[in-house]
Amino acid sequence: MKKKNIAILGSTGSIGTQALQVIKANPGFFCCEVLVANGNADLLIEQAIEFKPNAVVIADETKYQTVKQALSPHDIKVFAGAKSVEQIVEMETIDMVLTCMVGFAGLPSTIHAIKNKKPIALANKETLVVAGELITKLAQEHGVNLYPVDSEHSAIFQCLVGEFDNPIEKIYLTASGGPFRGKTRSDLLNITKHQALKHPNWTMGAKITIDSATLMNKGLEVIEAKWLFNIKPEQIEVVIHPQSIIHSMVQFTDGSIKAQLGLPDMKLPIHYAFSYPNRIATPFERFDFTKYPSFTFEKPDTNTFANLALAYQALDKGGIMPCVLNAANEIAVDAFLKEKISFLKMSEVVELSMSKINNKINPSLEDYFSYNTEARAIATSLI
């Protein structure tokens, strides 16, 4: 396998730091070519000194001089600002772009990477949630492959290898249920952010962890799956699987089901996206069946966790609604993390925001940006 030069957009986040561990474990196969961070200058500097990329970008322009001075002895190019985040993917030396910036912010750079014919390892699910129709069309036009990094979508992708000509009957997206599985709405009245940030199985960034606790993360994954695998909403079923070992399943038209299993470790789907179609040996921990004598499954409680139902509603309505859902949720989660609203209030903000915006079918790229701004303003006014 030819050595791949990887650009990591969001290198200081949870996925980005784990991607660097994958590169470190496989120096003969992967090289860190570009690192991009939003505002964590200290960690970006530390990463750059260790991995020696060709270039780094700090989106926060006020941190430019700090990064520039720290890296001046290391022959590493330093850029800053939102435009640089988009333009850096034009580098001819980049073989693959890992997009793991959180939220809507990851959309422009992903579009730019696709237009520059860079294969995408997609960890920014909001890109397909917000503009799935546009992104998949662009990828087809430019002959660009999208390799899913979410553990669930990576599992589906792996189950479909060798099956691409066989029609899918149903996809089962598994969910751990988060830290509040089995709780009632009355149980959740006084939940704190510290409680919500304690995921039982996965180590993730704050925003994704809160989304997991509200089941919004699973709702976003439903929308992402629709675009990645070209299926209908009614073909996607969410199943609570508290052990988080079966990462997702595909049911074919003959009734057979394929599942992908493994420990809850994001390094595995990152590794697979980087190395596809090859499988390269890893030093990561192996799964032991004797430690998991049983797997259990439940239906999700959409009365208590309304965000999953709201995501299906947005997907059914189509048009601009998934963009509105995502924008309102980003504002609500941020407010919860800042202790401005309660846990249950988050889904209320999302639902009300969706009700206040008239849907637009077949939106343009400019529409996505304008409706994103409008939805954020509405959600902010509700807090």
Within a domain: residue 76? yes
Contact 213, 178 (CB under 8 A): yes
Is the pLDDT reported for residue 371 higher than 90? Answer: yes
Is the pLDDT reported for residue 180 higher than 90? Answer: yes
Residue-wise pLDDT for 79-95, tens only, equals: 999 999 999 999 999 99
Contact 209, 197 (CB under 8 A): yes
Residues 98 and 246 in one domain: no
Within a domain: residue 359? no
Check residue 170 and give its pLDDT. Answer: 97
Check residue 101 and give its pLDDT. Answer: 84
Percent of the chain scored above 70 by pLDDT?
100
264, with CB counted inside 10 A (0-12, 13-18, 19+), is middle
Is the pLDDT reported for residue 104 higher than 80? Answer: no
Within a domain: residue 80? yes
Within a domain: residue 171? yes
Q: Name 290's Cβ contacts closer than 8 Å, sequence gap at least 6.
A: none
| Position 326, amino acid | N
Query: What value does the mean pLDDT take over residues 163-187?
Result: 94
Residue-wise pLDDT for 137-174, tens only, equals: 999 999 999 999 999 999 999 999 999 899 999 999 99
Nearest to 9 by CA among 59, 61, 74, 72: 59
Check residue 102 and give its pLDDT. Answer: 75
SS3 content of the chain, % helix, strand, coil (to 5): 50, 15, 35
Within a domain: residue 358? no
Q: Final residue of a domain: which of 317, 332, 359?
A: 317
Is the pLDDT reported for residue 65 higher than 90? Answer: yes
Residues 191 and 70 in one domain: no
Please give the span between the terminal C-alpha atoms of the chain, in angstroms, as a whole number. Answer: 52
Question: Where in the sequence is the domain holding 96, given as residue range(s)?
Answer: 4-148
Residue with token string 């180590």: 203
Residues 38 and 113 in one domain: yes
Within a domain: residue 78? yes
CATH number at residue 38: 3.40.50.720
Check residue 199 and give its pLDDT. Answer: 84
Residues 13 and 111 in one domain: yes
Residue with token string 């409706």: 371
Euclidean distance between CA atoms 317 and 340, whole angstroms: 30
Check residue 379 and give its pLDDT. Answer: 98
Residues 169 and 143 in one domain: no
Looking at every residue in the chain, the average pLDDT score rounds to: 94
Q: Final residue of a domain: which of 258, 290, 317?
A: 317
Residues 56 and 100 in one domain: yes
Residues 197 and 99 in one domain: no
Is the pLDDT reported for residue 105 higher than 80? Answer: no
158 to 96, 148, 334: CA distances (angstroms):
19, 10, 34
**Residue 276's pLDDT band (cuts 50, 70, 90):** very high
Check residue 126 and give its pLDDT. Answer: 81
Provide the token pair at 374.
């409008």
Residues 197 and 229 in one domain: yes
Instruction: HSE, CB side, 13 Å, CA atoms: give it for residue 190.
Output: 0
Instruction: Record the pTM.
Output: 0.92
Torsional sign, CA 349, 355, 356, 357: positive
Total number of domains in the chain = 2
Listing DSSP states for 363-381 in one string gives --HHHHHHHHHHHHHHHHH
Contact 230, 319 (CB under 8 A): no
115, with CB counted inside 10 A (0-12, 13-18, 19+), is middle
Torsional sign, CA 234, 376, 189, 210: positive
Residues 259 and 278 in one domain: yes
Q: Final residue of a domain: which of 299, 317, 335?
A: 317
Listing DSSP states for 79-113 in one string gives EESHHHHHHGGG-TT--EEEE---GGGGHHHHHHH
**Residue 200's pLDDT band (cuts 50, 70, 90):** confident
Does an H or E element contain 228, and which? helix 216-229
Check residue 191 and give its pLDDT. Answer: 93
**Phi, psi angles (nearest 5°) of residue 114:** -65, -45
Check residue 130 and give its pLDDT. Answer: 87
Residues 139 and 45 in one domain: yes
**Residue 16's pLDDT band (cuts 50, 70, 90):** very high
Check residue 238 and give its pLDDT. Answer: 98
Listing DSSP states for 158-184 in one string gives HHHTT-TTSPEEEEEEEE---TTTT--
- Label residues 38-50 b or e (16+ Cβ within 10 Å = b): bebbebbbebbee
Is the pLDDT reported for residue 269 higher than 80? Answer: yes
Within a domain: residue 93? yes
Residue-wise pLDDT for 118-133, tens only, equals: 999 999 888 898 889 8
Residues 267 and 223 in one domain: yes
Residue-wise pLDDT for 317-336, tens only, equals: 999 999 999 999 999 999 99
Residues 165 and 125 in one domain: no
Within a domain: residue 102? yes
